[in-house]
């Protein structure tokens, strides 16, 4: 497939809406004009990448109505459609998907250009700042791969509880909460997000075999953030 294969389907689509369409006008892949309206510009690419975004942004100096046109079969579009649409919406750009193999219905408008007005989430911002304030120290390098997990405030609290159980054996949750001054100790032990705790009796918990292994792996980070002070 060539980029030019996308041109005729888009040309027919725009002409069906009474636009006059011409290709390669002043560096615009597609230029459509209808009466006294502002022109429509479409930039064509076989895949969604930074180049087409930069080109489309550049065309905004010529017209406020600029679309990116890519094949419907584009792997990046299939994999990251939601994020692509969000990005183009933020930039005030539109998006059309083209299937040059179909005779009819081969152009789909996924997004029309328009002014971007982001919705602000006070709740998400509060969660963001809450995590920042509760986290002890700065245990993670920015950009670290998350596959093996990162040190969150919740993990730090679970590690503190795990360290206490490792030193003291099976203990009542209420005693853990009182000793560590951790009001969420009962909830952390009960939910057992990481599989680190086993309930030995009602309200009494101990480290699970998995907890014994994994807490040791996290011990270096725990020491760096001084979590062991809770177990003293």
71-83 pLDDT per residue, tens: 998 899 999 999 9
d(CA 215, CA 3): 54
Per-residue confidence (pLDDT) for residue 56, from 0 to 100:
94
Percent of the chain with pLDDT over 70: 87
Cβ neighbours around 33 below 10 Å, total? 16
| Mean predicted confidence (pLDDT) in 1-19 | 90
pLDDT category at 227 given cuts 50, 70, 90 is very low
d(CA 3, CA 83): 23
Residue 130 in domain: no
Residue 137 in domain: no
Residue-range definition of the domain harbouring residue 178: 147-231
107 and 153 together in one domain = no
Residue 126 in domain: no
92 and 168 together in one domain = no
Q: Are strands 94-98 and 65-71 parallel, antiparallel or unpaired?
A: parallel
Considering its fold, how many domains does the chain have in total?
A: 2
Structure tokens at 98: 């083209």
87 and 169 together in one domain = no
Per-residue confidence (pLDDT) for residue 222, from 0 to 100:
47
The domain that contains 173 carries what CATH number? 1.10.10.10
64 and 163 together in one domain = no
Per-residue confidence (pLDDT) for residue 103, from 0 to 100:
55
d(CA 135, CA 150): 12
| Lowest mean pLDDT across 11-20, 33-42, 120-129, 164-173 | 120-129
101-154 pLDDT per residue, tens: 765 558 999 999 987 666 777 888 787 788 788 777 777 666 666 566 788 889
156 and 206 together in one domain = yes
101 and 184 together in one domain = no
- Mean pLDDT of the chain, nearest integer: 85
Domain end residue (candidates: 111, 129, 162):
111
**Position 228 pLDDT exceeds 80:** no
Which backbone phi and psi does 193 adopt, to 5 degrees? -60, -40
17 and 76 together in one domain = yes
Structure tokens at 193: 């997000």
| Mean predicted confidence (pLDDT) in 68-96 | 93
Per-residue confidence (pLDDT) for residue 221, from 0 to 100:
53
Per-residue confidence (pLDDT) for residue 132, from 0 to 100:
81
The domain that contains 97 carries what CATH number? 3.40.1350.10
| Mean predicted confidence (pLDDT) in 76-95 | 93
Length reported for the chain: 232
pTM summary value? 0.60
**Position 93 pLDDT exceeds 60:** yes
């Amino acid at each position: 497939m060539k980029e030019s294969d996308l041109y005729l389907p888009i040309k027919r689509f725009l002409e069906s809406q009474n636009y006059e369409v011409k290709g390669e006008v002043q560096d615009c892949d597609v230029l459509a004009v209808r009466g006294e309206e502002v022109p429509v510009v479409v930039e064509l690419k076989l895949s969604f990448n930074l180049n087409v975004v930069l080109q489309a942004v550049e065309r905004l100096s010529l017209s406020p109505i600029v679309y990116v046109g890519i094949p419907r079969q584009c792997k990046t579009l299939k994999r990251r459609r939601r994020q692509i649409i969000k990005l183009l919406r933020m930039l005030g750009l539109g998006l059309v998907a083209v299937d040059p193999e179909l005779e009819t219905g081969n152009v789909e408008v996924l997004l029309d250009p328009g002014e971007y007005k982001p919705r602000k989430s006070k709740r998400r911002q509060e969660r963001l700042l809450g995590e920042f304030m509760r986290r002890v120290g700065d245990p993670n390098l920015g950009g670290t791969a998350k596959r093996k997990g990162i040190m969150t405030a919740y993990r730090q609290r679970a590690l503190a509880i795990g360290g206490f159980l490792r030193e003291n054996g099976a203990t009542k949750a209420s005693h853990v909460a009182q000793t560590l001054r951790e009001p969420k100790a009962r909830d952390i032990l009960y939910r057992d997000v990481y599989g680190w705790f086993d309930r030995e009796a009602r309200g009494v918990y101990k480290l699970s075999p998995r907890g014994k292994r994994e807490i040791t792996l996290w011990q270096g980070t725990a020491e760096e953030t001084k979590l062991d002070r809770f177990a003293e």
